[in-house]
Amino acid sequence: MQQVPVSLWTLVAGIVVTAISIWIGQNHTLMPVQASQQAPLVDGFFNIMFTIAIALFLVVEGTIVLFLIQFRRRRGDDTDGVRVEGNVPLEIFWTAIPTVIVLGLGIYSVDVFNRMGGFEPAGHPHSAAHVAHMPGTAIAATLSDASEATTAPSIAPTIGIGASPQTLNKPADLVVDVKGIQYAWLFNYPDSGITSGELHIPVGADVQLNLSAQDVIHSFWVPNFRLKQDALPGIPTELRFVATKPGTYPVVCAELCGGYHGSMRTQVIVHTPEEYDSWRTENQIAQQQNLNQVVAVNPADLSTSEFLAPHTHDMGISAATLESMVIGH
């Protein structure tokens, strides 16, 4: 029986390894749901790297298993193995292949980074949100003393993910100032005066986050957006993106920032345009557009009429009627 040439076995093995690698690389479920325009770019790059990794794994591990079987020590064979001095063509081959792979991935990664906006941090004015954090349940009440307000100087972000080539030199649809503190994220909307512990954005809007940190380095990471950007004390950074799918997605601090780093989590809520407008209107009314002068008030210290006063409009009665009802009761 004629022996099958090694070259034919190599060709068949190469076809099988390639088919398996491509299928696994394109059909894995390792990544969360895509929810931004940038996500497909990152996933495309990841899929190629994963495909190459699977191919290398199969080749290396397959060769090891084959050699374990083919060149195993036979019973009764106590002779030395064949002495091999080296193989220059093989050494050139296994040096050239990784070199080509690394160069190709490097060029591809630069292109992805540029298309995401990594080469063009926009440099729009940045103003960090300053909000006092007070634990416990409270109702906001406005102070008349304006001296309590803290205004941050305007500085321009120069580091981060900025405008993509398609949005270069165009202002973002929505700008949000994001501050990282131990151990929370604060979101301030300069155009509406809203401050929140969650990020609310409309789907399809070009959003720019101006990131800062009050104490130590934090890292703003949204896995579903495939975006991560450090927030640095004293150095403004930027993150610009477009969300493509309504939903609620986790926001994680990806930089060890202290003992409670693991609990520094919040969420980004992507609304439809109508839902976002409703959320914005409700929060503008609730926060009275003046959160820089807000203190916490314990509801237990309020009278019944004072506690219910903010809700008189929703109940369809006047403050005077409410007062008379409380007195009569």
pLDDT in tens, 143-173: 333 333 333 444 455 688 888 888 788 899 9
Is domain 139-297 classified as CATH 2.60.40.420? yes
Give the residue ranges of DSSP H helices in 71-127.
Answer: 88-116
pLDDT band at 76 (very low <50, low <70, confident <90, very high): confident
Q: How far apart are the first and last CA of the chain?
A: 107
pLDDT of residue 299: 59
Digit-coded pLDDT (tens) for 213-239: 999 999 999 999 999 999 999 999 999
- Sign of dihedral through CA atoms 165, 169, 173, 178? positive
pLDDT of residue 118: 84
Question: Which pLDDT band holds residue 312 (cuts at 50, 70, 90)?
Answer: low
Nearest CA-CA partner of 220 in 187, 174, 243, 171: 187
Q: What is the pLDDT of residue 119?
A: 78
Mean pLDDT for all residues in the chain: 81
Q: What is the mean predicted confidence (pLDDT) over 36-62? A: 95
Read off the pTM: 0.69
Please state, for a pLDDT cut of 70, what percent of the chain lies above it: 75
Q: What is the pLDDT averaged over residues 171-181?
A: 94
Return the pLDDT at 160.
86
d(CA 210, CA 155): 10
Q: Between residues 128 and 5, which one has the greater pLDDT?
A: 5
Listing from the earlier edge strand, what are the strands of the sheet with 206-213? 159-161, 237-242, 206-213, 174-181, 184-189, 194-196
Q: Phi, psi (5° rounding) for residue 206? A: -80, 105
Segments making up each domain of the chain, as ranges: 6-70+88-116, 139-297, 303-329
As a whole number of angstroms, the distance between CA 189 and CA 29 comes to 35
pLDDT, average across residues 251-270: 94
Per-residue pLDDT tens digits for 105-139:
999 999 999 998 887 664 443 333 333 333 333 33
